[in-house]
Amino acid sequence: MTPRLSVVVPFYGVGEYLGDCLESIARQAWSDFEAILVDDGSPDDSAVIAKEFCARDERFRLIQQDNAGPGPARDAGIREATGEYLAFVDGDDLVSRYGFAALVRTLDSTGSDFAGGNARRFNNSFGVRPSWLHKQPFARVRHATHVTEFPDLVLDRMLWNKVYRRSFWTENGYTFPPIRYEDYPVALKAHLDAVTVDTITQAVYYWRERESGESITQQKFQLGNIRDRVTSAGMVLDLVENAVPVVRRRVHAHLAQIDVLTLMSAFGSVPAGDEQVLVDLSRALLDRLDEDVLAKTHRYDRIQHAALRSGDVDLLRRLADFRNSGGLRGGARAVSRGRRLDYNYPGLGESVVPRRLYGVRDQDLSLATSVREVAWVDGTLSIKGTAEIRHLETDRTSTLEIALAVGETSYPLPVRRYAALDLHGTKTLVGFEVLLDQEVLGECTGAPAHFDVRMRSGRRVRKGMLGGQGPGSPGWPPGAWIDDTNWIQPGPGKSGWFSLRRLTDPCRLTAAEQVGDELVLHGRASFDEPELYLSRPVVGGEEEVPLEVDGRDFTARLPIRDIVDAANHDDPFGRRTTRVFRVRGPEEQQRVLLWTAGDTALTGVADDRVVTLTRSTGGYVNLHESPIRTTAVSAVVEGNELVVCGAGGEATFSWRRYLTDSDDHLDVVCRRTARDDGGWSVAVDVGALVPVTAVQVSVDPLAALADWILFATSADGTAHAVQCEPFLCSRLPLAITHGANGSHALAVRPHAGTLHVEVR
């Protein structure tokens, strides 16, 4: 019987990851598929792994060829495909369990030519987090749309987060060029050729990244790599030459922001003998981009463009080194985050850079805010953060006003200012703290209340709303009761602005305990005759939980074994299933269950799986089922030592730092102590995490801006990043100073669920 879906999986040299990739495909909820594995002449044991898998599952079959590149390998797989629909997966990535099902069903419903979904980036060090490249195109569900109607679809440059109708693919005769970056020309042409396409918000694909993180500085200069990138970009520009203006401009702007910036960064590592080749290739792309688009890029980009056009390789190298070393806060992100620049940087003479590029435009002097810490102190809400006007010095002559805005009413707040690191890493008067007492908090309503910020520096005044929640308590802000019936919950509001909500008599979890092999939940509803349901936010579906009800109070019993046996994980990397609780009443009332049961999660274990009752980022009750993980539950400073305590199996611990532009790493081993409760405690001297010699910095120029990750290594040598328990997230960051006069600032923070120490 012909399968409805054909999945093409080209692979080359990914033996370390291929088994996990194929397992994620085999576990698909959409079982009516064939998987065509294409061995593109792999030099490792990838083909052996593929053959073993094909022998176990008849839906998988293998074809082999001499190495020709990912594009021709995909073409070979397509020729063998028989399904009504077509999908692509790279051999080192993962697919979500319900992704293919969601994409096929939307195509069955709408008749569109193809459908795409969201993606996640993942690795062992940073866990799982959204792919910023896919965030915009797949921010909402759109049925039967088109790139001319929604131009942000030009950012959708990958093949693997989609399902194509095979008849559409064949009719248009798509083939891949034999180069790297082969997918963007095909993906964009499909968008232009389609009658309609569908987008869904669900994460359908998990995109692996190297352990040292996502950064343009990772892309070491390779002449063939650069040449292929420029060739691919040229093909894309050809496609939109006669496209509608809005699509053409959007493509030119995207290439300027991503591809040109990558070429500029390559000057930081280009061998001397290849400098002129890189200049020629970079000019070839830059010269094809519209001048009005280039004129709107970041000032630093325009300086690099001018240096390129003048052929000043020495300046290009120094500019790339400055940017790659973090001088612009990490490549493309500088476009939105900004930085005050030193326009007297050596070499920026007027003969190289036109004087018009030296100045800062008034619109560049925008307000920048961040939230760094959220905490409750004796019933008062403390919010700490930073505020500054980009590119201006923040000194004692500046003024800062912050007010809580509740509807049309504004409540001015006392502001304490202090020195903190600004956008370019200098300690200036950008830090602030506001305290909100119960009287002010009582003015909040069920609608989000935000914070208005007004800053004056010299003659310039800027206004805006407080935003920029960082990792730690700003991302997991704790809530609290302000009286017997009203709860205040901080968190992100509309468009991500930091906000407060008052929840009056919410449905809440008041206590939880493990009794035998059950998790026992005690709660109180906002109405009589409550019913409790467990639902899955990612894929839908729910089940009723039996309750013992006494008026509005209730008790629920969850057998741990039943939860483990019903596991059906949403996340193919963490292999975790997440459920949320909803309370319903007899008059169709519905509430999400709020966590008010203290600051400790409840866990129960069955076999090698763990069930965890904990809180979400918004303060609601979550139920997770997952493999047993090594998890940190506390972090404190004792004398000169950083001490982390947690739960999990036997392991040795170390703080790990990946070297710049590399998956090589340095480890600082921790001293481990067993605890009476069966957990562990590990300690490290804070000074060991701070580079103290010029030699260390010369080996790794970014050593002074280190990011250490706590790793656990099991007896079989498998290493994984230690998880950060949500209640610990809500108590972080933990600030540490070290050295003479506090010369180094360290912060213990969570990042995408793992525990890190940032050194600045």
Q: Whose structure tokens read 């980022």? A: 617
Tell me, what's the pLDDT at 269?
84
Contact 261, 215 (CB under 8 A): no
Check which CATH number belongs to the domain holding 563 and give it: 2.60.40
For residue 245, being part of any structural domain is answered with yes
CB atoms within 10 A of CB 198: 25
For residue 356, being part of any structural domain is answered with no
- Per-residue pLDDT tens over the stretch 460-504: 999 999 999 999 999 999 999 999 999 999 998 888 899 999 999
CA distance 499 to 366: 21
Tell me, what's the pLDDT at 326?
57
Contact 91, 18 (CB under 8 A): yes
Domain identity same for 458 and 488: yes
Domain identity same for 286 and 242: yes
CA distance 216 to 230: 16
| Global pTM exceeds 0.75 | yes
The identity of residue 344, as a single letter, is: N
Domain identity same for 52 and 189: yes
For residue 359, being part of any structural domain is answered with no
- Per-residue pLDDT tens over the stretch 599-651: 999 999 998 899 999 999 999 999 999 998 899 999 999 999 999 999 876 89
Domain identity same for 64 and 171: yes
Tell me, what's the pLDDT at 328?
52
| Sign of CA pseudo-dihedral 353, 359, 363, 365 | positive
Domain identity same for 89 and 229: no
Domain identity same for 45 and 192: yes
Q: Which of 146, 174, 208 is the last residue of a domain?
A: 208
Check which CATH number belongs to the domain holding 495 and give it: 2.60.40.10
Helices (H), 176-257: 183-193, 223-239, 245-255
Check which CATH number belongs to the domain holding 180 and give it: 3.90.550.10
For strand 542-545 and strand 553-559, is the pairing parallel, antiparallel, or unpaired? unpaired
Domain identity same for 200 and 250: no
For residue 415, being part of any structural domain is answered with yes
For strand 114-123 and strand 127-130, is the pairing parallel, antiparallel, or unpaired? antiparallel
Domain identity same for 266 and 313: yes
Q: Which of 590, 612, 627 is the last residue of a domain?
A: 627
Tokens, residue 55: 């022998």
Tell me, what's the pLDDT at 360?
61
CA distance 642 to 654: 12
Domain interval for residue 222: 216-335
Which residues of the chain are under the pLDDT cut of 50? Answer: 214-219, 329-358, 693-703
Q: At what angle do helices 245-255 and 223-239 cross, to 10 degrees?
A: 170
Q: Total structural domains in the chain? A: 5
Domain identity same for 91 and 188: yes
For residue 134, being part of any structural domain is answered with yes
Number of continuous H segments (helices) and E segments (strands) in the chain: 19, 45
Domain identity same for 600 and 636: no
Domain identity same for 162 and 245: no
Percentage of the residues of the chain whose pLDDT score is greater than 70? 91
In DSSP notation, 254-298 reads: HHIIIIIHHHHHHTTT--GGGHHHHHHHHHHHHTTS-HHHHTTS-
Tell me, what's the pLDDT at 760?
79
Residues with Cβ < 8 Å from 132, sequence gap 6 or more? none
Domain identity same for 201 and 104: yes
Q: Which of 208, 242, 273 is the last residue of a domain?
A: 208
The identity of residue 62, as a single letter, is: L
For residue 146, being part of any structural domain is answered with yes
